[in-house]
Amino acid sequence: MLDLLIRGANLPDGRRDLDIAVAGGRIVEVAPGIEGETAREIDAAGCLVTPPFVDSHFHLDSTLSLGQPRINASGTLLEGIQLWSELKPHLTVESVKDRARELCHWAIARGTLAIRSHVDVCDERLVGVEALIELREEMKPWIDIQLVAFPQDGLYRFPNAPDLLARALDKGVDVVGGIPHFERTMDDGARSVRTLCELAAERGLRVDMHCDETDDPMSRHVETLATETLRLGMEGRVAGSHLTSMHSMDSYYVSKLIPLMAEAGLHAVPNPLINIVLQGRHDGYPKRRGMTRVRELMAAGVNVSFGHDCVMDPWYSLGTHDMLEVAAMALHVGQMTAQAEMPLMFDAVTTHAARTLGLEGYGVEEGCHADLVILQAADPIAALRLKPARLFVIRRGAVIAETGMVRSRLRLAGEELEIDFTRDETS
């Protein structure tokens, strides 16, 4: 007896009209015309059935705090950091949990079932750490939360940060973070990368640093991050987030840097919505876009996944936590418009992001977790164009979120017609 049978699914890799059978929380078969009794059947009717979206870079501790204590007037990264430091002393475990929980609800409704969230450890009380560790447990049945110990105010700039970071890891934070470009000097930044990578290697943890989130082409900490990854044998376990300085770097230098990143198996995690908003703020015209070199990194074999980074917080006032909005922004900013390139933007918020997090049992294959999203679109390119309704969000074989088909009814010249913006794609 099956728990769930999905009929007529299109898959992200282009396979069409397949059935997906689920039992015991796992996918047990993917094939055309599956027979067998089932507790529930869903007719996907040519809609795209994808493994869930994965957000590989977010901040659950600051999310939905917009306006507390005030709005970021300049719109810059640095005023955002200042504003967050004003709010920090007023945080409580319950207030952080409430905001983060609401964001998780939004994420689930949008079909995102895994989030890597940085959590600020530059706080003697470690309020965010305590709140998000509790929330990680509370939300476990529905969404995977992976936490990164993030020294927002600098490992060497903030008093006692190394000790606070170690305490956060002792409490059960999963990943070692960093912010080398925010240390006082380039030397301090490089030293922080070395120290933090060694700490992660000792503890057997992954690394994900905010790295070179600046327009300064001389901010080259990613070079140290890749080199330390190789020295410590941590290939495939280290991510560089943002990497916006690469947008402004000299291309000859980048022609040496990208192969080094590929050799180190570094994951690159741009945050397109936030990069396009925060970078280039000091430019006149032409104004830099700030997003890292997505096409060139992908071509070199570097795993590139995207993060939402912020929703309604000191750095970004907008957003509903829609990873398709993130992918569509990357597509536009990076001019990834070729037919072969567009699906890669979808991969960057699904399979590539799962690889960055190191998720087990992810995918639409026999044996994978039955975590699936049915979209009101036929394929990944249509999904990027439409940012369609997530009709069903399925976790371990159970439907945990539903949204009705979105259609508009027009009344023109006495006639009524219904449209959903699809073109020979979905029913």
Q: Which residues are catalytic?
A: 213
How many Å apart are CA 369 and CA 359, to the nearest integer? 11
How many Å apart are CA 271 and CA 332, to the nearest integer? 13
Question: How distant, in Å, are the alpha carbons of 3, 56, 100, 193 from that of 225?
Answer: 46, 18, 30, 6
Q: Enumerate residues 298-337 that contact Fe ion by CB under 5 A.
A: 309
Nearer to Fe ion, 321 or 395 (CB): 321
Q: How far is the CB of 381 from Fe ion (least distance, A)?
A: 28
Q: How far is the CB of 417 from Fe ion (least distance, A)?
A: 45
User: Could you give phi then psi for residue 182, rounded to 5 degrees?
Assistant: -100, -5
Nearer to Fe ion, 223 or 309 (CB): 309
Count of residues near Fe ion by CB under 5 A: 1
Q: How far is the CB of 395 from Fe ion (least distance, A)?
A: 26
How many Å apart are CA 185 and CA 228, to the nearest integer? 19
Nearer to Fe ion, 309 or 371 (CB): 309
Residues 6+ apart with CB under 8 A from 79: 72, 73, 314
Q: How far is the CB of 190 from Fe ion (least distance, A)?
A: 20
Q: How many CA atoms lie within 13 A of 343 on its CB side?
A: 11
Comparing CA positions, the residue from 299, 301, 192, 180 lying closest to residue 236 is: 301
User: Could you give phi then psi for residue 359, rounded to 5 degrees?
Assistant: -70, 140
What is the DSSP annotation of 12-70?
A: TTS--SEEEEEETTEEEEEETT--S-BS-EEE-TT-EEEPPEEEEEE-TTTTT-TTSS-
Q: How far is the CB of 372 from Fe ion (least distance, A)?
A: 28
How many Å apart are CA 2 and CA 22, to the nearest integer? 6
Q: How far is the CB of 176 from Fe ion (least distance, A)?
A: 15
Burial of 227 (0-12, 13-18, 19+ CB in 10 A): middle
Residues of this chain that bind Fe ion (CB under 5 A):
309
